[in-house]
Amino acid sequence: MRIRFYGTRGSSPVCRDGTRRHGGNTTCLRVLSACLPRDTALLIDAGSGLVEAARDLRAEGIRKVLLLMTHYHHDHTMGFPIAGTTLDPSVEVHVFGPREDGTGPREVFDALMRPPHFPVPFSRIEGHVRVHGIDQMETQRLLVHREAGFVWQAAPGPDEESGPRTGPDQDPRFPPSDCLRVRMTRTVHPEYTVSYRLEEGPTGRVAALLTDHEASDEVPDRLRTHLQGVHLLIQDAQYSHSQWKGSKAGYGHGTGAFAAQVMHAVGAVRLGLTHHDPEADDPQVDAIREEARRTLVALEGRDPGDLLFSARDYQEEEV
Ligand SMILES: [Zn+2]
Ligand SMILES: [Zn+2]
């Protein structure tokens, strides 16, 4: 499994000399896995990076897009209306996103694409764009299989994974051990926001994205369970600890020090910092990585070296 970063900036796209090394597109990631059907791409979030991702998908002849939305703040949705795959009726797009109080992906994109915001209304793309609301994120999951495609179902209990597959949600075409499995939990953010955990059945490799999550002094138990043993943790570290303590607490974002604390607590092998502050030039992003490095040295007594990095647009990492 590999992760390709198309957007690593938080809040707003940027383009100035000081930000060129990390890049200026807002959040969009592509998950590459041998579990995906050959004509299918799996993406997370539709920030401005989605426009670049869609160019690649069309060049590759991708016919089906599975798009997982963490939430609907502008920096995670702004690329959707204009992305080539959204407007191409020959590409089947499935959007998965949180739904709360009757508002899910359909309502959000319908509002965003309504004139005068955008000239092509959502109703014009409904023929090839399907939505799937996440309202039970602790029990729903997505399974993707190379031959069978995908299924969206309620999650099994903890014993069920290895035992016989029974019940209405179990489909024999999708043995979990052959699938890419996507599980979810809620982050701490001003909106109903999802953290995705991706488990590649055949290889056992695991990646997770924890973005738009508020730092805290302790690592919550729910996150420890959700992120346990990930090989690559990609986490929001928009601020330094002193910025967060100063004026940024309550904005729903993380710090380098907190990301390091989570990495240590869940036994993550690698940590990629993301959702860089649009105010931060490259040296300031480096300083947040340094804060994470110092925290890890203090917690583990060793330098993480390459196991810790600040994600850059167009970077690709093996999980
Ligand atoms: Zn954001
Ligand atoms: Zn947000």
What CATH number should be reported for the domain holding residue 46?
Answer: 3.60.15.10
Ligand nearest to the CA of 214: 2
Which residues are found with C-beta within 5 Å of the ion, ligand 1?
10, 75, 212
For residue 158, report the distance from its CA to the centre of ligand 2, in Å.
Answer: 31
Q: What is the pLDDT along the chain (319 residues), one digit of tens a residue?
A: 999 999 999 999 999 999 999 999 999 999 999 999 999 999 999 999 999 999 999 999 999 999 999 999 999 999 999 999 999 999 999 999 999 999 999 999 999 999 999 999 999 999 999 999 999 998 899 999 999 999 998 765 554 454 444 444 578 899 999 999 999 999 999 999 999 999 999 999 999 999 999 999 999 999 999 999 999 999 999 999 999 999 999 999 999 999 999 999 999 999 999 999 999 999 999 999 999 999 999 999 999 999 999 999 999 999 9
Q: How far apart are CA 278 and CA 1, in angstroms?
A: 29
Q: How far is CA 90 from the centre of its chain?
A: 25
For residue 253, report the distance from its CA to the centre of ligand 2, in Å.
Answer: 8
The runs of H, that is alpha helices, within 61-208 are 74-77, 84-87, 105-112
Ligand nearest to the CA of 194: 2
Which residues are found with C-beta within 5 Å of the ion, ligand 2?
73, 212
For residue 12, report the distance from its CA to the centre of ligand 2, in Å.
Answer: 11
Q: How far is CA 15 from the centre of its chain?
A: 22
For residue 10, report the distance from its CA to the centre of ligand 2, in Å.
Answer: 8
- The verdict on whether omega for the bond into residue 116 sits within 30 degrees of 0, i.e. cis, is yes
For residue 112, report the distance from its CA to the centre of ligand 2, in Å.
Answer: 16
pLDDT of res. 154: 74
For residue 211, report the distance from its CA to the centre of ligand 1, in Å.
Answer: 7
For residue 192, report the distance from its CA to the centre of ligand 1, in Å.
Answer: 12
Q: How far is CA 136 from the centre of its chain?
A: 18
Q: How far apart are CA 172 and CA 170, in angstroms?
A: 6
pLDDT of res. 111: 96
pLDDT of res. 155: 63
- What is the number of structural domains in the chain? 1
Burial environment of residue 276 by CB neighbours within 10 A (0 to 12, 13 to 18, 19 or more): buried
| Residue 245 CB neighbours (<10 A) | 12
For residue 130, report the distance from its CA to the centre of ligand 2, in Å.
Answer: 23
For residue 76, report the distance from its CA to the centre of ligand 2, in Å.
Answer: 7
Q: How far apart are CA 36 and CA 290, in angstroms?
A: 36
For residue 69, report the distance from its CA to the centre of ligand 1, in Å.
Answer: 11
Residue 75, domain extent: 2-318
Q: How far apart are CA 53 and CA 156, in angstroms?
A: 33
For residue 266, report the distance from its CA to the centre of ligand 1, in Å.
Answer: 23
pLDDT of res. 251: 94
Q: How far apart are CA 205 and CA 227, in angstroms?
A: 13
User: Considering Cα of 207, then 213, then 219, then 225, what sign does the dihedral take?
Assistant: negative
pLDDT of res. 255: 98
Cβ partners under 8 Å of residue 263, min gap 6? 233, 235, 271, 292, 296, 308
Q: How far apart are CA 66 and CA 49, in angstroms?
A: 16
Q: Check if the beta carbon of residue 96 is closer than 8 Å to that of residue 105.
A: yes
For residue 241, report the distance from its CA to the centre of ligand 1, in Å.
Answer: 18
For residue 240, report the distance from its CA to the centre of ligand 1, in Å.
Answer: 16
Cβ partners under 8 Å of residue 59, min gap 6? none
For residue 81, report the distance from its CA to the centre of ligand 2, in Å.
Answer: 18
Ligand nearest to the CA of 252: 2
